[in-house]
Structure 1
Amino acid sequence: MMLLAAAATLASCGGKGPAPISSGERFSTAGDVVEDYRLGVGDRLRVIVYREADLTGEYAVAADGNVSLPLIGNVKALGRSVDDFAREAQARYGDGYLREPKLSASVINYRPFFILGEVDTPGQYPYTIGMTLPMAVATAKGYTPRADRGTVRIKRLGAVEEEVYRVAPELRIYPGDTVRVGERFF
């Protein structure tokens, strides 16, 4: 009877806060690595304008969400797909600057993610497509001995609050996320 009362007391101590999320868009299947990536501040793009070496180069998404390209100036990138950005840049080059321009764009460096708390080397790390929580923890050189390996808190770029997730191999990390690994109590 006392053992049951002690278990109930322990369960109520750990029950504070929101319940962990165990499914949803952050959880993917093993083969699901295709992403509808949206550009953000800190991304670095390679823009290739066919037959125009002076216009071809690497450009960063600035703090105002734009990419400054030669001749045409700022092109909005924040929140857009790479294809949308490339279409607008191509159309603007075709509007009085180049005859039938051909342009391609690709992300060469994604904005970083951040990992804090009970990992050996917390900090800012480069993002790679298809990143999962185990990959992020491995990038930070693993868990500390006191790490809570059951739940993790993730704050999406631009969000106000962290969300609590159950730790799973398929838990996705996105560019700009802040991952916080908590400390376990026992």
Structure 2
Amino acid sequence: MTFARTTRGATIAVAAIAMAAMTGCSGYRPAPKSFQEATIQPYRLDSGDRLRVTVFEQQSLSNTYLVDQAGYIAFPLVGSVPARGKTIQEMESIIAGKLRQGYLRDPDVSIEVANYRSIYLMGEVGQAGQYSYVAGMTVQNAIAVAGGFSPRANQSNVDVTRKVNGRVITGRISIAEPILAGDTIYVRERLF
């Protein structure tokens, strides 16, 4: 009787643990549509991006500028220019407009991203940390840069945290999916 009661208690405990694990898994919700759409939208600038700004026939204004922690670049003549959340084309128009206000008659401004803000890898990778982002990078590329998967890693999908329309969202995606500058990638441990 005692053996049966102990076995029954152990079975109930194992079942409870299994249910808790499955409940945790079933509580997962995929990221909203905007999470995936962010990878095909025009690139939005943020802190940490380094911009190469060229003002044609104005060597003194052409240089590289860092988007600071507050989301601005310090541009000669016009001062602080808001960059956070802007596209490259929007920044070109903003700077050209400010230069037209008493500095240059018809400025021709061209901007490109010289260095993207970093990505971050955590969890079951060879070397967790901060890494340089390259345009077109996938999760798999990022994991390779971080030394590959650890022996315990779940190698089919990862959790990515990204800023979308000013909101921070986390979603689970496959390792073949593209990532964006500023993303944080978390490689989970596999269950079995």
Please give the alpha-carbon distance, in whole angstroms, between the structure 1 residues aligned to 2:122 and 2:74.
Answer: 33
> How do 1:99-138 residues align onto structure 2 when only pairs under 5 Å count?
99-138=105-144
Give how far 1:48 is off: 0.5
- Distance change (3 Å), C-alpha of 1:138 and 1:184: same
Inter-partner Cα distance in structure 2 for 1:26 and 1:164: 7
Q: When the two structures are superposed, what TM-score results if normalisation uses the length of structure 1?
A: 0.82
Q: Is the 8 A contact 2:46 2:83 kept in 1?
A: yes
The 5 Å alignment of 1:28-107 reads 35-107=41-113
Give the SS at the match of 2:103: coil
Can you give the 5+ residue segments of structure 1 that lack an aligned partner in the other structure?
1-5
Structure exhibiting the larger radius of gyration computed from Cα positions: 2
The structural deviation recorded for 1:172 is 2.3
TM-score (norm 2): 0.80
Cα pair distance change 1:41/1:22, threshold 3 Å: closer
Residue 3 of structure 1 corresponds to: none
Return the structure number with greater helix share.
2
Q: Which amino acid aligns with 2:188?
A: G
Cα 1:11–1:144 change in 2 (3 A) is farther
Instruction: Report sequence identity in percent.
Output: 34
2:27 is the counterpart of 1:21: no
Q: Which moved more, 1:11-20 or 1:81-90?
A: 11-20
Tell me by how many angstroms 1:14 deviates: 3.8
Task: Return the structure number with greater relative CO, CA threshold 8 A, min gap 6.
Answer: 1
Task: Find the counterpart in structure 2 of residue 163 from structure 1.
Answer: 170
Which amino acid is 1:165 matched to? R
Is 2:149 the counterpart of 1:140? no
On the 8 A contact 1:26/1:172 being kept in 2, the answer is no
Residue identity in the other structure for 1:181: V
State the partner residue of 2:183: 177
Instruction: Give the number of aligned pairs.
Output: 176
Judged with a 3 Å threshold, the aligned counterparts in structure 2 of structure 1 residues 101 and 181 are, in CA distance, closer, same or farther, namely same
Please report how far the alpha carbon of residue 22 of structure 1 lies from its aligned counterpart in structure 2 after TM superposition.
8.2
Tell me: CA distance 1:75–1:108, structure 2 relative to 1, closer, same or farther (3 Å). same
- Measured on the aligned residues, the alpha-carbon RMSD in Å equals 2.7
